């Protein structure tokens, strides 16, 4: 997806898109989660300091603080007083994050289905079709 008003930073490659209407802290959280899920950032990896990341992404300190706070609440990172923030040593982090992502998508899909006033059967059929499509695509 082309991102016209992206602010890229050289160090951690975290991108906050101005064109994305989602809250900036959520974008940041998602990016960090993705990094972890993919394996780029291993457990124990040190995150940039809040102020340094704010300067790099040109986003206010308070937004970075919030993202870090929420990530800590979700167990993705741990903050040690005076030392910094690190990726949590949770096993199978990638999988649990991906599972969370799946749930988010399904909730969003359920909302849309609700708008369209589809019944449960129709929704499940639609999901089945999507799974079939995927099986066809992967060799």
**Footprint of another protein on this chain (CB under 8 A)?**
18, 21, 23-25, 51-52, 54-55, 58-63, 66, 115
Tell me how far, at minimum, the Cβ of 38 lies from another protein, in Å. 27
Nearer to another protein, 8 or 42 (CB): 8
- What angle separates helix 50-57 from helix 61-73, to the nearest 10 degrees? 120
E strand or H helix that includes residue 86: strand 84-87
Give 96's contacts (C-beta < 8 A, 6+ positions apart).
Answer: 90
Query: Do 97 and 37 meet the contact criterion of CB atoms below 8 Å apart?
Result: yes
CB nearer another protein, residue 32 or residue 56 = 56
Element spanning 27, H or E? helix 24-38
Indicate the residue among 21 and 136 with the shorter CB distance to another protein: 21
* Distance of closest approach, residue 95 Cβ to another protein, in angstroms: 28
Q: Find the shortest distance in angstroms from Cβ 42 to another protein.
A: 26
């Amino acid at each position: 997806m082309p991102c016209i008003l992206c602010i890229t930073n050289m160090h951690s490659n975290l991108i906050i898109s101005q064109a994305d209407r989602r809250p900036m802290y959520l974008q940041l959280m998602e990016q960090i989660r993705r990094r972890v899920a993919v394996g780029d950032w291993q457990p124990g990896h040190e995150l940039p300091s809040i102020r340094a990341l704010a300067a790099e992404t040109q986003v206010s300190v308070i937004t970075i603080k919030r993202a870090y706070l929420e990530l800590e609440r979700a167990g993705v990172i741990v903050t040690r007083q005076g030392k910094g923030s690190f990726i949590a040593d949770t096993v199978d982090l990638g999988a649990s994050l991906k599972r969370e992502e799946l749930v988010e998508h399904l909730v969003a899909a359920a909302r849309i289905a609700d708008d369209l006033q589809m019944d449960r059967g129709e929704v499940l059929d639609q999901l089945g079709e999507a799974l079939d499509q995927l099986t066809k695509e992967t060799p």
